[in-house]
Amino acid sequence: MNPRPLTSHPSARAPETAAPGQAPAAGAAPTVAERVRQAAAFVVHGPGRMAWPGFLGVVLMVFGGFGSGALRRQDPLLDTVFLSWLRYGHGKIVAGALVYIGLVLMFYSWVRIGRAVRAGGFTPAQLGGLAVAWAVPMLFSVPLFSRDAYSYLAQGALLRDGFDPYDVGPAVNPGPLLDNVSTVWTTTTAPYGPAFILIARGVTMITGDNVVTGTMALRLVMLPGLALLLWAIPRMARNLGGSPAIAMWVAVLNPLVLVHLIGGVHNELLMVALLTAGIVAVLERKHLLGIAVISLAVTVKATAGAALPFMVWIWMRHRREDRERDAEQPRWFPEFLRTAVPSVLVFAAVFAAATLAAGIGVGWMTALSGANKIINWLSLPTASAQLYTVATSWFTGVGLAPVLEIARLIGEAALVVIVVLVVARFRNSVHEAMHGVLYSMIAVVVLSPATLPWYYTWPLAVASGLVVSGRAMSMVAAFSVFTMLIFRPDGSIGMYQWYHVLLAAGCAAVAAIALHREDPLRLRGFLRGQGGAPVAGVARGGDG
């Protein structure tokens, strides 16, 4: 029994026609000058002009980030360029407002583009170009919504200076890099794979203890992940019978992805790119190559390993289809051995090579528990413990810590059971296996002891090839807006102020409605003195 894609929609598989302002290629390949003219027409007169508010939003975010982002503890560079006023008093308030205004503008453009995507108004290549245009200004930003970049650099410096980052935290290696690590992580060992620790070491060997150049170098080193995503996401959607344009809208152009992975300098950019590229290779019957690439993703961040069992099922399904075509009746267990054993060997070889190259063992597997220090209600066990404590502490006297420990143990046990059941259940077809990857990723994010907004880029990337309906796109839009807005630009949590949560929820609801109806708040009619008369724009694909 094959699970259906996330509900079907007649526009999901509509041919992606050339957009207005872009001349179709005919005969010989267009020259560079012709390509430039086509691109200019696309962004000035064609549907690409819908991305301009988002681009302005990115610029505002970058500027506002100099006052409200994850800044260095001591930042003389701001004094040098006369921007230190952004860090204090009213300047900091203005800077924070600019970041949120920029985010709203990005989401406004993204949702408008989503309406046009549903109508077939963009090609995947055009969406990729817009994603790159939005990403470029972020290359010059301070880290946004997270201080993790400073931890990456400090952990790389540990290996550079002869320490084992899986055995000790950055606190043993004082210096400018340590000064900027979040206090909670100064004594925490590195939870990242050996491949990424090698990358971080390489960056610090080149940039030394310079925090600014180190952060910029980290972005540049991880930037190939964006290029790989631009290649992999539409191919994955095509192989799954989905819409490549919708997939690009969900998993690449999405502000939740761009702001956190590029603006926030997160290694998810490499992990998710390698994961999706590996899935594409397996779907295209390059099974061992795909499993090797996903194994490499595991050596960046362990979560990618959730996809590996399902790649074995897809390989088995391909072999079964080949045998059935030859009128053979394959037996399940021998087929399982023929796929599982090579898969395990390839994973072991990639994992061992990365570990030997780093020369620091496998201590990172135990260091994964360091994330338990994060407390927010994006994690279901943590949220349950907090709600229980609030509801009962006044008459039981029991604090959060013991309740949290029990709730997280229950969550971890539930996660193991769910993943085992999903692996056993979703194995009878390629689509089933891909749904299994998605459900396993969601279970990992929701049931882990700690969850952060950028963790949701994992399941979003997998889901992008399965999202083909307007309803599913609305869910993605609402979820992305809400998850993006509930954190503050400096990386602190805004989920415990009711007004912050209500504003985020309101924006999420508007985004979900706006994906189907232009001007959902009827502001244009109000401004024209029409008492909020609706403006018809859906028929034009939201281009208005």
The Cα–Cα gap between 130 and 254 comes to 11
Say yes or no to pLDDT of 537 above 80: no
DSSP per residue, 312-368: HHHHHHHHHHHHHHTT----HHHHHHHHHHHHHHHHHHHHHHHHHHHTSTTTHHHHG
**Higher pLDDT pick, 398 / 523:** 398
Q: 493 - beta bridge partners? A: 487
| pLDDT number for residue 524 | 64
Contacts of 321 (CB under 8 A, 6+ apart): none
Digit-coded pLDDT (tens) for 475-522:
999 999 999 999 889 888 888 788 888 999 999 999 999 988 876 766
Lowest mean pLDDT among 2-6, 49-53, 410-414, 492-496: 2-6
Cβ(459)–Cβ(453) under 8 Å? no
Average pLDDT over residues 341-364: 89
Average pLDDT over residues 379-386: 90
The Cα–Cα gap between 370 and 290 comes to 30
The Cα–Cα gap between 91 and 79 comes to 14
The Cα–Cα gap between 151 and 522 comes to 45
Digit-coded pLDDT (tens) for 437-450:
999 999 999 998 88
Q: How confident is the model at residue 287 (pLDDT cuts 50, 70, 90)?
A: very high
Size (the chain), residues? 544
Burial 335-367 (b: 16+ CB within 10 A, else e): bbeebeeebeebbeebbeebbeebebeeebeeb
For the chain, count helices (H), then strands (E): 24, 0
CA neighbor of 255 nearest in space, from 129, 110, 122, 453: 110
Nearest 5°: the CA angle 175, 179, 184 is 125
Lowest mean pLDDT among 24-28, 157-161, 502-506: 24-28
| pLDDT number for residue 14 | 40
**Higher pLDDT pick, 199 / 398:** 199
Cβ(222)–Cβ(269) under 8 Å? yes
| pLDDT number for residue 11 | 41
Nearest 5°: the CA angle 505, 510, 511 is 95
Burial 68-105 (b: 16+ CB within 10 A, else e): bbbbbeebeebeeeebbebbeeebbeebbebbbebbbb
Cβ(371)–Cβ(448) under 8 Å? yes
Model pTM score: 0.88
| pLDDT number for residue 183 | 84
How far CA 230 is from CA of 127, 268, 388, in Å, comes to 9, 15, 44
Tokens representing 163 are 């320490």
Q: Provide the mean pLDDT of the chain.
A: 86
Per-state percent for the chain, helix, strand, coil, to nearest 5: 70, 0, 30
Say yes or no to pLDDT of 61 above 90: yes
| pLDDT number for residue 315 | 96
The Cα–Cα gap between 494 and 487 comes to 5
> Torsion-angle region of residue 175: left (phi > 0), alpha (psi -120 to 50) or beta?
left
| pLDDT number for residue 76 | 65
The Cα–Cα gap between 246 and 233 comes to 10
Say yes or no to pLDDT of 543 above 60: no
Amino acid (1-letter code) at residue 352? A
CA neighbor of 178 nearest in space, from 201, 198, 199, 153: 153
| pLDDT number for residue 493 | 81
Contacts of 270 (CB under 8 A, 6+ apart): 196, 199, 222, 224, 225, 297, 300
In angstroms, how far is the first alpha carbon of the chain from the final one? 43
